[in-house]
Amino acid sequence: MEAKPSSLVIKVGSLLVNSQRLIFSSKNPLCSSCILSGTFKSVTCSTISQTQSETVSGGGAEQPANSVEVLRRYGCSDDDIEKMFLRRPSLRNADLSQLQFKLNLLWGLGITSNDLVKIINCRPRLLSVRINHFFDERLEYFMTLFGSRETLLKAIIRNPSLLTYDFHNRIKPVITLYEGLGISREDLVPLLLSRPTMIPRTSFNDEKMEYIRKSGVSKDSNMFKHVVSIIGVSRSQTICEKAANIEKFGMSNEEVWHLIGRSPYLLTLSVDKVQRNMTFVVGTMKLPANVILEHPFLLYNNLEAVLKPRWLLAGKIEEMGLCPKIKGSLMLRALRMAEQRFLKAFVSCHPDVVAKELMEFYTTAKCVKRLAVSSKKAVFKGFPFWVLLHARCSPYSSFYPSDSMIELLCTWWGLWNTSHCLRKCNDLLCWGSPLVVHWLGDWGFSSSTYWILFNYIIGCEFMFYFFII
């Protein structure tokens, strides 16, 4: 009997679906083109009955009723599923076919259920975006770049956004840019693993290229890749501020950049940390500022946990007339030692009674926290969303912020009347929940956009609901 056109269409569609599942459940996704071509040949050369079609597509198996069952079939436990739903609530109502399709892609990469929990915790929206764009081409490129599937899997778990970055306009240009600067692919792999956000944050201009030249590091040096990658992901303004912060302690610009060339991770330290460590080294330890040119570890060490306690212990040992004394070059060696080696060299070497006294003194010194650290004010840039997040109220209840909150909001809005400030707070909380306000901050709206948007939200209910959807 001749097959009806409608049934033929159903059969062809079923074959295409099955071929797609076979492609992404295969252990070698790079062979997907071969599988797909073979499938098309079977479509054009054979006719399959309805029963045979159901067998190929797994029609006899019970279809999952919800996303929970889909994730269970992937191997996730109830605890894992709860964690993922807590991180991404919209997964509960996800499209089942799309969810299965994306999970098949991840399974083909070798991502287990435990890895999936880590990925969703790191990138909650991964299963809500299109990860199939240029998937085969992206996978083939990454296999060439990372060299092995195990290294690629490690990189994806550390930075799942590798599956979502714009492949042609972001990933390939950035890799090509680093290679053009003289960094080989073998050196790029550990950099990508240690700095997961290197691809989206990289940018180079004439100013940054000048910084690399001033560092004096040659392309043959092992530090060159670190200098280039750190400068590449940092803002020019931040680099300038951090270099000037070291320079103001009496060193020339050339000395500072040669120091950065030998120890590029100085650019990852905050301005506050460098200032506090340098103040202690110069003011308390009475060492010359240029000592950091030969001993940059003085800027890396923790002031409260290493530098200050060991300096105080050295004074205690001298006060008690014990030997060996921690002075001169031995002081710098002692500050650089690991904790256990330091205790063995300068505490445990004494009799038990003396060692116990020194250990108690040293432990007490390590427990001394930074003065007034709990009252340190954090600097917030942009609209103070954290103020509204503290309001635990329903959308129709009144909000009464503290005096400090009122002062901050009045400063932002340019208001002098407290009642006007409270009225605006209530308007914002009536027309937008704290969660929505938090989302706006995460999306990176500028200060002017915040205010324009909220003016519209306050005045137009329709726009608010449209925005949420």
Per-residue DSSP letters for 207-266? Answer: HHHHHHHHTT--TTSTTHHHHHHHHHHS-HHHHHHHHHHHHTTT--HHHHHHHHHH-GGG
pLDDT at 181: 94
Do the Cβ atoms of 408 and 384 come closer than 8 Å?
yes
What digits encode the pLDDT tens for the residues 76-110? Answer: 999 999 999 998 899 999 999 999 999 999 998 89
Given CA atoms 162, 168, 170, 171 in this order, what sign does their dihedral have?
A: positive
Domain ranges of the chain: 5-57, 71-270, 301-369, 385-468
Q: Which residues contact 398 (CB under 8 A, 6 or more apart)?
A: 426
| Bigger pLDDT: 29 vs 411 | 411
The average pLDDT across 274-295 equals: 94
Cβ–Cβ contacts within 10 Å for residue 287, how many?
17
What digits encode the pLDDT tens for the residues 106-126? Answer: 998 899 999 999 999 888 889
Q: Which residues contact 37 (CB under 8 A, 6 or more apart)?
A: none
| pTM, entire model | 0.66
Q: Which residues contact 369 (CB under 8 A, 6 or more apart)?
A: 304
Number of H helices, E strands in the chain: 28, 0
Does a cis peptide bond (omega within 30 degrees of 0) precede residue 309?
A: no
Does a cis peptide bond (omega within 30 degrees of 0) precede residue 264?
A: no
What is the C-alpha separation between 147 and 144, in angstroms, rounded? 5
pLDDT at 132: 81
Do the Cβ atoms of 39 and 16 come closer than 8 Å?
yes
What is the C-alpha separation between 119 and 101, in angstroms, rounded? 17
Cα–Cα distance list, 174 to 138, 152, 167, 180 (Å)? 14, 17, 10, 10
Q: Is 71-270 a CATH 3.30.70.120 domain? A: no
pLDDT at 407: 55
The average pLDDT across 217-223 equals: 92
Residue 357 clears pLDDT 90, i.e. is over it: yes
Residue 371 clears pLDDT 50, i.e. is over it: yes
Question: Predicted confidence band at 55 (pLDDT cuts at 50, 70, 90)?
Answer: very low
What digits encode the pLDDT tens for the residues 17-32? Answer: 344 444 434 434 334 3
User: What does the mean pLDDT of the chain come to?
Assistant: 76
Question: Predicted confidence band at 438 (pLDDT cuts at 50, 70, 90)?
Answer: very low
Do the Cβ atoms of 273 and 234 come closer than 8 Å?
no
What is the C-alpha separation between 250 and 208, in angstroms, rounded? 24
